[in-house]
Chains A and B, each alone.
Chain A
């Protein structure tokens, strides 16, 4: 066993400049428009990729820009990186090619100049970036790597376009696809030398009994990729209890409680404003204590899938609405069903 730990060293992001309002998206829905999408999801607008090849805003291009932004905020050069992990769910490259091999990580490492880096992709639905961070944390703690980059670019609105063409009502399994937005984020981890910058723990689990509740694949009705979610089951009370129950058990093994953790901020996966409220309320019930201040960006960017927690961190740290030196709790929620907790104190991370 080792006593090493890792820290979040730098953060970067790229958001396509094109803004689409929820009203503009709903106007594209070919079936019924008799639902108030903004009221249901809390999403007012989202960013959408520019489909022209020269814009370079496919998943791979978005990821590359976020990685470069992150390196610009880091003490490291690309050539210093020991690991590159890519976590995109939507794997678009060269425009409309949904790519399976070679890995995005292999190509990003080469294009960035991290030529000798360990490279691989992870795919774990919306928990992908946090899964990458979990693995990089373990590689650093085990002494296999000194540092590394976790990056993800998402053309998530490709599923929104299919949903707009296919859904019939708000109970449609593709309804949740209307809440997504495009983005990219990247984070660099290295070894922590100071408690003021440390990942205290990152623990994840998959409750596989419910792995069938949200499925992404090409549509068999129109030309596009689609996401089919059993919203009622996916967001059922029991699913929402997974995080606090699992997190509480992890803490109990160390003789601690949630209140002992004294988190300053909590960042839930950005599914929608109501979802964030429900999960925080469930946390309060299970832990029997108040939640720390909940940070969000879902109103402006929608559900950005793998990048959501890191966009929240970046936006709030940049805006000064989250304080450096604070203790942050990041809570994944993803198809699989994946739950977990990342606890980190963040003081000098470049943003």
Chain B
């Protein structure tokens, strides 16, 4: 284990952007991560893009390949004087993609397959503007995490747990190709069951309780950073787990009305991580517990021990 976050970054559509795209948001977040660390883009061996909703409902190639190009990572193996290879692919598992990618990154780092994994999480409405489609529940948002091996054996991510809940999927996002006409590049349907929030709360609470017990986390010293399927999810999860509400964070978008903004989708853990640190995380917290929950229903959970605490 011992994968640490070397850098994290978010990207929101800029007012000047006509439309938002995964390539642009993930590419910008990836670029900021690399610039912040001073690392060469070519130092990234593997790029995993975990976004679910994408420009024009593109299904080939992996958007990760286009993000790799946008971020200037190992562009042309044959043309480079000193060839170094980058490998990119999309990993999709609804809201849990970032933690799935962390688990995969741990294995890639442990087996010496690469020294650095860049995880990008960007979702955009296929038409390019989430705000124009009132039925679409997510924000146009991109995030990136640069992961590498920790030099401090105690720091970084713990094991990732992934759990499936019972019953119907709760959320289904699809393009109805039998009713799209020639407009399929701009359309998307996301259906959310009315009882979804309660079921996600049950699954998240059970997954956190199991993880906390199995890995002996101290709730007094752990900040829970969770998805935000509803605006009150953090409060409800704290209540269910008997935690101090101040120790559970489900971040909304910076500068937005917390009651009205859409869900940050796959980038939620990146948003939560940056919000927790930007808020001046009290020194009493030595660990974060990332929790993601969504369509499936699936939930994922992973601790993250902060360095220097």
User: What's the count of A-B pairs with C-beta under 8 Å?
Assistant: 244
Quote the shortest CB–CB distance from A24 to chain B (angstroms): 23
Q: Most chain-B Cβ atoms within 10 A of its Cβ — which of A100, A135, A207? A: A100
A106-B296, A119-B93, A249-B83 given; A144·B103 CB < 8 A: yes
State which residues 188-224 of A face B: CB under 8 Å: 204-212, 214-224
Q: Which of A34-42, A88-96, A257-265, A294-302 interfaces with chain B?
A: A88-96
State which residues 270-309 of B face A: CB under 8 Å: 294-298
B94 at the interface (CB under 8 A from A): yes
Contact (Cβ within 8 A) A101 B60: no
Mask, B165-199, CB within 8 Å of A = 1, is: 00001111111111011111100100000000000
Query: Which B residues are CB-close (under 8 A) to A63?
Result: none
A65 at the interface (CB under 8 A from B): no
CB-based nearest A residue for B171: A101
B238 at the interface (CB under 8 A from A): no
Contact (Cβ within 8 A) B60 A227: yes
Q: A107 vs B296: C-alpha distance in the bound complex, in angstroms?
A: 7
Contact (Cβ within 8 A) B90 A206: no
A121 at the interface (CB under 8 A from B): yes
Q: Most chain-B Cβ atoms within 10 A of its Cβ — which of A124, A204, A238? A: A124
B235 at the interface (CB under 8 A from A): no
Q: A196 vs B78: C-alpha distance in the bound complex, in angstroms?
A: 34
Contact (Cβ within 8 A) B174 A121: no
Contact (Cβ within 8 A) A106 B298: yes
B202 at the interface (CB under 8 A from A): no
Contact (Cβ within 8 A) A122 B172: no
**A interface secondary structure, majority:** mixed
State which residues 58-87 of B face A: CB under 8 Å: 58-66, 68-69, 73-79, 83, 85-87
A334 at the interface (CB under 8 A from B): yes
Q: A337 vs B61: C-alpha distance in the bound complex, in angstroms?
A: 8
Q: Most chain-B Cβ atoms within 10 A of its Cβ — which of A103, A120, A127? A: A120
Q: A92 vs B47: C-alpha distance in the bound complex, in angstroms?
A: 26
Quote the shortest CB–CB distance from B160 to chain A (angstroms): 8
Query: Which A residues are CB-close (under 8 A) to B181?
Result: 223
Chain B interface bracket (under 10, 10 to 19, 20 to 34, 35 or more): 35 or more
A101-B52, A101-B171, A119-B164 given; A206·B184 CB < 8 A: no
Quote the shortest CB–CB distance from A148 to chain B (angstroms): 12
B256 at the interface (CB under 8 A from A): no
A138-B113, A209-B75, A335-B61 given; A96·B103 CB < 8 A: no
Contact (Cβ within 8 A) A105 B93: yes
Contact (Cβ within 8 A) A124 B62: yes
Q: Most chain-A Cβ atoms within 10 A of its Cβ — which of B88, B171, B178? A: B88
Instruction: Out of B63, B64, B69, B94, name the residue touching A103 (CB < 8 Å).
Output: B94
CB-based nearest B residue for A128: B89
A112 at the interface (CB under 8 A from B): no
A119-B298, A120-B97, A224-B177 given; A335·B77 CB < 8 A: no
Quote the shortest CB–CB distance from A55 to chain B (angstroms): 16
Query: Which B residues are CB-close (under 8 A) to A98?
Result: 57, 59, 174-177
Contact (Cβ within 8 A) B69 A138: no
Contact (Cβ within 8 A) A220 B182: yes
Q: What are 17 A-B contacts with C-beta separation under 8 Å? A: A100-B173, A100-B188, A102-B169, A102-B172, A115-B164, A116-B163, A119-B162, A119-B164, A122-B91, A123-B91, A124-B62, A124-B90, A144-B107, A206-B68, A208-B88, A222-B182, A245-B83
- Given A99-B173, A225-B59, A225-B177, 14 other A-B contacts at CB below 8 A? A91-B59, A95-B178, A103-B298, A116-B164, A206-B62, A206-B87, A216-B61, A217-B56, A219-B182, A220-B182, A223-B182, A246-B83, A249-B83, A335-B61
Top-3 shortest CB links A-B: A218-B184, A216-B60, A335-B61
